[in-house]
């Protein structure tokens, strides 16, 4: 959960690194640093000895790092002469050691001839550190990363045939855990060396030099040509070459792919925050996710890559996800079971591989991850594949790890999401859940042609209905203005509304830091109703569906305990307002599809409450966008 950017070329790299880190600050923002290869400085050049002159012309790695935001690093750099054309940069989300200057990256070896930046966790770092200390190495930080430059130094010292690339290849075989690692060495001034284990890393190619980055936005202003690095591969990057070596150290070839995202698509485009921009981009994200899959009433979803025999013999579907993606998985369970009559299990990724899950050849395993790099979801995928499951991935990031670890991939095409909290990628995931359910039902002949066409036609106009909700965002803001001072929020929903209640509560917790819980409304009387009093806001998700009357009764139960009620209702519902203090109307749709309309006002509600409290909605505390640690 950190960001890496590195450059080697013919330009001064300080600003390239700093600007790249700014675009990666959503990945980590506890601290940041850069390391640039420069010539040693000696101000008394006229009187220096021959030996001193040689010393002056030697290279050193100038490291400047600081705790806090990238702006704090920029202030530290003011007035410092840090000029060079080869450098590495890092923005950190702390895992080992406090987020202070000492623990910030880059980290040196003993001689300060090697500097390293790293994303991920080295699980056996304590063991490696102990061995290196016995050999005379001294450590100054609390991080696991610091063992990496020392280990490279030790390999180079003990193996006269090794260079920095070979040392990185040996290092990857010694460490356990995850990591994207980029190393810079004074003895190797014309190259950057990188390695990767289960953490994202790409190389960017341009006429003015080449790059490493953990995410495309860091270097999109310089290039749209990228090469993806896979697990246990090492890379030598020079000013004009990208050399990739497989785990056996053999040079391999890989095609360059061209990114279609523009730098502007990763900017705020006039919105106050990325989160608000991305909430309002949801009609576009939904439309793009359906593009080519639903066109003028024609449904085409053959990318699911399931033949008739596989679908006929499909006995169970397992969906694995974490956080917000888990809530889209719950929606998938509901619609697949109703439409396709296939049992669906939904698991939290971090729990799945520890419960001895049952998988067989007649199971379909679906992994949902916005970034495609979520470590818990990736671990679950590997466990399922070991047991023979066919794995399908749903992700928003082309070239991500999950796409290469799976048998098939469905991309959501929501565009880059910069805000830490998932919004537009969530609604895109829900669309994919609907498409999978409808596709399986169609192939199994379980929906009539009229029913199938009805859903397809409704999905085609769903972007317009989401836009209708967004056009009334001001109403949500007024409700937020009246309720943001409350200290307890309970989100209630039933059936299709329950996952949205969970998601609404999660969004409020993430960005406002207010205690919020999502519940199946019928569960209130089994304990949570004890929390309701005049300080409680109950958010009820109550569309006109087959459990409307049940939901209305549940809201009356909390109203009797003096809680304030904010209800999401279907347009024209005059009944719920008799009990609710605030209501917001949603367009009518099929009951299975209400979730995608319900979550948008819940996102806005969380956003406006957080803004009233002065929170940083794009970078909420203790969270990062791509969760690449267990």
Q: Which residues are known catalytic residues?
A: 2, 625
Nearest to 310 by CA among 376, 383, 256, 363: 363
Residue in the block written with tokens 């009246």: 482
Nearest to 367 by CA among 325, 323, 430, 422: 325
Nearest to 372 by CA among 405, 414, 401, 348: 401
Nearest to 171 by CA among 196, 152, 153, 198: 152
Q: Decide if 212 contacts 160 (C-beta within 8 A).
A: no
Which DSSP symbol is given to 177? B
Q: Decide if 507 contacts 588 (C-beta within 8 A).
A: no
Q: How many CB atoms lie within 10 A of CB 248?
A: 8
Q: DSSP for 338-357, please give it.
A: HHH---EEEEEHHHHTTS--
List helix spans (H) across 239-389.
Answer: 274-280, 282-290, 308-312, 323-340, 349-352, 375-386
CA–CA separation, 5 and 572 (whole Å): 53
Residue in the block written with tokens 């669309």: 431
Nearest to 211 by CA among 33, 13, 36: 13
Q: Decide if 121 contacts 630 (C-beta within 8 A).
A: yes
Residues in the chain, how many? 630
Cis? peptide before 106, omega within 30° of 0:
yes
Distance between alpha carbon 479 and the CA centroid of its chain, in Å?
30
Q: How many CB atoms lie within 10 A of CB 557?
A: 16
Nearest to 232 by CA among 205, 192, 210, 201: 201
Could you list the beta-strand ranges (E) of 93-161. 107-108, 114-119
148: its two tokens? 């990496």
19: its two tokens? 């600007």
Sheet of 86-92: strand order equals: 59-67, 31-39, 86-92, 3-9, 209-213, 202-206, 225-228, 257-258
The separation between the first and the last C-alpha atoms of the chain, rounded to the nearest angstrom, is 11
CA–CA separation, 22 and 359 (whole Å): 43
CA–CA separation, 148 and 174 (whole Å): 10
Q: DSSP for 534-582, please give it.
A: TTEEEEEEE-SSTTHHHHHHHHHHHHTTT-EEEEEEETT--SGGGT-SE
């Amino acid at each position: 959960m950190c960001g890496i950017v590195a450059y080697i070329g013919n330009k001064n790299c300080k600003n390239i690194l700093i600007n790249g880190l700014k675009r990666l600050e959503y990945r980590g923002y506890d601290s940041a640093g850069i390391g640039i290869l420069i010539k040693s400085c000696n101000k008394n050049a006229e009187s220096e000895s021959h030996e001193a002159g040689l010393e002056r012309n030697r290279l050193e790695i100038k490291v400047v790092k600081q705790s806090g935001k990238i702006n704090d690093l920029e202030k530290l750099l003011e007035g410092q002469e840090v000029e060079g054309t080869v450098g590495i940069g890092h923005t950190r989300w702390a895992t080992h050691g406090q987020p202070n200057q000492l623990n910030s990256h880059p980290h040196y070896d003993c001689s300060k001839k090697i500097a390293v930046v790293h994303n991920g966790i080295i699980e056996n770092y304590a063991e490696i550190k102990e061995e290196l200390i016995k050999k005379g190495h001294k450590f100054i930080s609390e991080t696991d990363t610091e063992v990496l430059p020392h280990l490279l130094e030790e390999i180079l010292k003990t193996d006269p045939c090794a260079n920095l690339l070979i040392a990185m290849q040996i290092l990857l075989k010694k460490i356990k855990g995850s990591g994207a690692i980029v190393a810079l060495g004074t003895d190797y001034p014309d190259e950057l060396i990188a390695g990767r284990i289960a953490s994202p890393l790409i190389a960017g190619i341009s006429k003015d030099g080449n790059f490493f980055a953990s995410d495309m936005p860091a270097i999109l202003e310089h290039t749209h040509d990228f090469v993806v690095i896979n697990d246990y591969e090492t890379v030598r990057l020079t000013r004009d070459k990208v050399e990739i070596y497989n785990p056996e150290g053999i040079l391999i070839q890989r095609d360059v792919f061209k990114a279609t995202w523009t730098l502007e698509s990763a900017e705020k485009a006039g919105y106050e925050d990325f989160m608000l921009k991305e909430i309002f981009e949801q009609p576009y994200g939904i439309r793009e996710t359906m593009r080519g899959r639903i066109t003028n009433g024609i449904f085409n979803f053959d990318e699911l890559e399931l033949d008739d025999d596989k679908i006929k013999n499909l006995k169970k579907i397992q969906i694995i996800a974490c956080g917000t993606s888990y809530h889209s998985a719950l929606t998938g369970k509901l619609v697949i079971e109703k439409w396709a009559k296939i049992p669906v299990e939904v698991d939290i990724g971090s729990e799945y591989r520890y419960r001895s899950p049952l998988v067989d050849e007649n199971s379909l395993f679906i992994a949902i991850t916005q970034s495609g790099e979520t470590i818990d979801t990736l671990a679950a995928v590997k466990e399922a594949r070991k047991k023979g499951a066919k794995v399908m991935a749903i992700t928003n990031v082309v070239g991500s790890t999950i796409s290469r670890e799976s048998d098939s991939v469905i991309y959501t095409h929501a565009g880059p999401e910069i805000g830490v909290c998932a919004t537009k990628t969530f609604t895109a995931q829900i669309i994919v859940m609907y498409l999978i359910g409808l596709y399986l039902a169609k192939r199994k002949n379980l929906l009539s042609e009229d029913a199938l066409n009805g859903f397809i036609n409704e999905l085609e106009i769903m972007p317009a209905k989401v836009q209708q909700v967004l056009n009334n965002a001001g109403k949500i803001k007024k409700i937020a203005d009246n309720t943001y001072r409350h200290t307890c929020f309970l989100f209630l929903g039933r059936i299709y509304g329950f996952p949205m209640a969970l998601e609404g509560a999660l969004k409020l917790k993430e960005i406002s830091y207010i205690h919020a819980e999502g519940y199946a409304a019928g569960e209130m009387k089994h304990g949570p109703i004890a929390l309701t009093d005049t300080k409680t806001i109950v958010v009820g998700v109550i569309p006109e569906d087959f459990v409307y009357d049940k939901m209305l009764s549940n809201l009356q139960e909390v109203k009797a305990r003096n809680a304030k009620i904010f209800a999401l209702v279907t347009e024209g519902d005059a009944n719920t307002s008799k009990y609710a203090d605030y209501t917001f109307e949603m367009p009518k749709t099929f009951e299975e599809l209400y979730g995608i309309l319900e979550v948008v006002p819940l996102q806005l509600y969380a956003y406006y409450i957080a803004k009233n409290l002065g929170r940083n909605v794009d970078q909420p505390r203790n969270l990062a966008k791509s969760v690449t640690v267990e």
